[in-house]
């Protein structure tokens, strides 16, 4: 790992998202990109600072995650390598700052990779780690995208107000990070958005918006949305048009909608309405 700069951060929270197996519909990486872009030059105060990056040759198989060639404005060819970068964001309007980890899921040496990231987290005095993921599920695109929060240990899950993870099976780098945090005594939760499997081929800003809203609710902080809500609406319209072109898909979507509505009808109570109202109040008070 190459350290570029260690900023002064207040009780920081580390938020991580990786492209690859954990990133259906590019929802998790879309959320990370949003967090890094939306605060750039806001009030000329909040700008992400590059803290460190990880040497790509140590962890990536370049035949799996190939480097990309691009031509810059001077017509010079350059190469970008798959890697992982760590940024710091100081948030003067919030009582804690952020450490954002943006990367590609590594191909090898996962234990060492995670140890490097969590060693830096210890150096930065990170007290909470939040991993972001997205998975394919039998859910309709036309209803709110659900986000589940879980913790790897019952005591941590209870204290942080999330479910205990009961998943068993193959895992990605997020599962390894959660386990390593638990063993180090670092609080960690994972937020996962459910993506309709029939609409997984393109980036899903609606799922990224759901993850942003989940972060807002969990951290009780207002995250600027910029044009994310409009992009989510456009995505939903595009998927609706796509579904209409195939009668089998349209029938399947209708069945998913009916099932979703029936399951949630008794639950149109408290929590979801309260969370929407709290987000509204945060944004209104900020304005």
pLDDT for the residue 133: 95
pLDDT at 148 over 70: yes
Structure tokens at 160: 């942080």
At 260 the pLDDT is 81
* pLDDT of 131 higher than 60: yes
pLDDT tens figures, 62-113: 998 899 998 988 889 999 889 999 999 998 888 899 999 999 999 999 999 9
Q: In the chain, pLDDT over 70 holds for what percent of residues? A: 89
Q: How confident is the model at residue 44 (pLDDT cuts 50, 70, 90)?
A: low
State the pTM of this model: 0.86
Angle at 237 between CA 233 and CA 239, to 5 degrees: 115
Per-residue confidence at 265, pLDDT binned at 50, 70, 90?
A: low
Spatial separation of the C-alpha atoms in residues 132 and 79, rounded to whole Å: 28
CB of 50 closer than 8 Å to CB of 135: no
Reported as a pLDDT band with limits 50, 70 and 90, residue 221 is confident
Specify the range with the lowest mean pLDDT, choosing from 74-88, 122-136, 144-158.
Answer: 144-158
Task: Please report the pLDDT score of residue 45 as a whole number.
Answer: 62
For residue 227, the model assigns a pLDDT of 92
Q: For residue 281, what pLDDT is reported?
A: 57
Widest pairwise Cα distance in the chain = 60
pLDDT at residue 209 is higher than 90:
yes
DSSP per-residue letters across 168-196: -S---HHHHHHHHHHHHT-EEEEEEEEEE
Specify the pLDDT at position 179.
93
Query: Percent of the chain beyond pLDDT 90?
Result: 53
**Residue 176 has which token pair?**
């390894």
Domain residue spans of the chain: 2-286
Distances from the Cα of 87 to the Cαs of 12, 15, 51, 124, in angstroms?
11, 10, 5, 11
Q: Give tens-digit pLDDT for 154-180.
A: 888 888 888 888 888 899 999 999 999
Tell me the pLDDT band of 279, cut-offs 50, 70 and 90: low
Q: pLDDT tier at 278 (50, 70, 90 boundaries)? A: low
Does the 2-286 domain belong in CATH 1.10.274.10? no
């Amino acid at each position: 790992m190459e350290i570029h700069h260690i900023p002064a951060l207040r009780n920081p929270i580390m938020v991580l998202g990786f492209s690859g197996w954990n990133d259906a519909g590019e929802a998790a990486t879309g959320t990370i990109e949003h967090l890094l872009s939306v605060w750039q030059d806001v009030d000329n105060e909040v700008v992400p600072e590059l803290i460190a990056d990880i040497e790509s040759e140590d962890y990536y198989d370049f035949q799996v995650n190939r480097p990309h060639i691009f031509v810059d404005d001077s017509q010079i060819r350059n190469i970008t390598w798959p890697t992982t970068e760590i940024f710091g964001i100081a948030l003067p309007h919030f009582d804690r700052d952020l450490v954002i980890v943006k990367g590609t899921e590594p191909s090898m040496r996962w234990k060492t990779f995670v140890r490097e990231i969590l060693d830096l987290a210890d150096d930065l005095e990170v007290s909470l780690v939040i991993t972001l993921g997205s998975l394919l599920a039998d859910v309709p695109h036309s209803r709110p995208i659900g986000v589940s929060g879980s913790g790897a240990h019952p005591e941590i899950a209870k204290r942080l107000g999330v479910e205990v993870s009961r998943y068993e099976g193959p895992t990605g780098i997020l599962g390894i990070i959660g386990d390593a945090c638990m063993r180090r005594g670092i609080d960690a939760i994972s937020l996962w958005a459910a993506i309709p499997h029939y609409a997984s081929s393109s980036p899903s800003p609606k799922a990224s918006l759901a993850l942003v809203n989940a972060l807002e609710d969990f951290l009780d902080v207002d995250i600027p949305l910029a044009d994310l809500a409009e992009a989510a609406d456009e995505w939903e319209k595009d998927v609706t048009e796509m579904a209409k072109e195939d009668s089998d898909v349209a029938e399947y979507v209708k069945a998913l909608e009916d099932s979703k509505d029936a399951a949630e009808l008794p639950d149109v109570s408290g929590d979801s309405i309260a969370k929407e109202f709290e987000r509204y109040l945060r944004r209104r008070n900020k304005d």
